């Protein structure tokens, strides 16, 4: 066998009902501030729901540990429009502990549903 390629150390997926998520944000105004960074908060509802799904998927890929801070993971947008995850603090610490070198994220929102998949590579 040849040299080993990247090793997947975690996979997570999450799906969010956009309308229900919006109602939750309306009922609990401080939730938006707790879940999202200032830059993320400027997004439309469907995009926020997809970002929440990405954070949930990331937590699942990391093994759903307690103590992760929502704002320690931020969904960014590259110049070409592709999403990527910036991690810091509690999330970066967990990634380091699991040997994560690369994070991949895919987002989608259509027909009232937002979804995200996260793959973590060592």
Domains and CATH numbers, the chain: 8-121 (3.90.470.20)
Tell me the C-alpha distance between 15 and 5, whole Å. Answer: 30
**Tokens 């970002």 appear where?**
51
Residue 118 pLDDT greater than 60, yes or no: yes
Distance CA 71, CA 4 (A): 34
Model pLDDT, residue 29: 84
For the stretch 59-113, pLDDT in tens is 999 998 888 999 999 999 999 999 999 999 999 999 999 999 999 999 999 999 9
Residue spans of alpha helices (H) in the chain: 18-27, 29-35, 45-61, 89-97
Contacts of 47 by beta carbon, 8 Å cutoff, 6+ apart: 109
Residue 9 and residue 19: Cα distance in Å, rounded? 33
In whole angstroms, what is the distance from residue 74 CA to residue 51 CA?
8
Predicted pLDDT of residue 66: 86
Is a pLDDT exceeding 70 seen at residue 3?
A: no
Q: What is the pLDDT of residue 79?
A: 95
pLDDT single digits (tens) 27-51: 998 999 999 999 999 999 999 999 9
Contact 52, 32 (CB under 8 A): no
């Amino acid at each position: 066998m040849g040299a080993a390629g990247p090793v997947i150390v975690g996979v997570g997926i999450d799906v969010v009902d956009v309308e229900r998520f919006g109602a939750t944000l309306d009922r609990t105004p401080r939730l938006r501030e707790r879940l999202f960074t200032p830059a993320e908060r400027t997004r439309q509802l469907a995009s926020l729901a997809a970002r929440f799904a990405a954070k949930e998927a990331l937590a699942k890929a990391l093994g759903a540990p307690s103590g992760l801070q929502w704002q320690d993971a931020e969904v960014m947008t590259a110049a070409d429009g592709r999403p990527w995850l910036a991690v810091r603090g509690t999330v970066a610490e967990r990634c380091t502990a699991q040997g994560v070198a690369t994070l991949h994220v895919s987002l989608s929102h259509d027909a009232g549903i937002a979804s995200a998949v996260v793959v973590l590579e060592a």
